[in-house]
Amino acid sequence: VQLQASGGGLVQAGDSLRLSCAASGRTFRSYTMGWFRQAPGKEREFVAGIRWGSVTKYYSDSVKGRFTISRDNAKNTVYLQMNSLKPEDTAVYYCAAGNSIILSQLRAPSVYDYWGRGTLVTVSS
């Protein structure tokens, strides 16, 4: 699986952005997909995740209520809609894919098998 994230940019606080992650591979629909971010000098952190069936979605406390993860298996694409952006959301955002990820591990970067190159989101105050 190859992943390509896009949609980042420079916005002002309160604005919205939608990130996209296009995946190659016919088995996309079976993978758990996650969005992570990494700010300068900080560790990579979980942002949102979605299981293959798209029924249940998971968010970090810092983005819950502002960000929405979704996926379109027909298009092999996962999205991250980001609303009410804050300066502390500034980071490089990565999408990731993993197979056979159990729920308790979904927030751990180490369990994901494939990673995109990241897209930079900068939120000015």
Check residue 3 and give its pLDDT. 95
Q: Under a CB-based contact definition with an 8 Å cutoff, are residues 28 and 97 in contact? A: yes
In 10 A of CB 103, how many CB atoms? 11
Check residue 73 and give its pLDDT. 86
| Segment 63-117, tens digit of pLDDT | 999 999 999 988 999 999 999 999 999 999 999 999 888 888 999 999 999 999 9
| Segment 34-63, tens digit of pLDDT | 999 999 999 999 999 998 777 789 999 999
CA angle 10, 62, 79 (to 5 degrees): 55
d(CA 35, CA 47): 5
- State the chain's mean pLDDT as an integer: 93
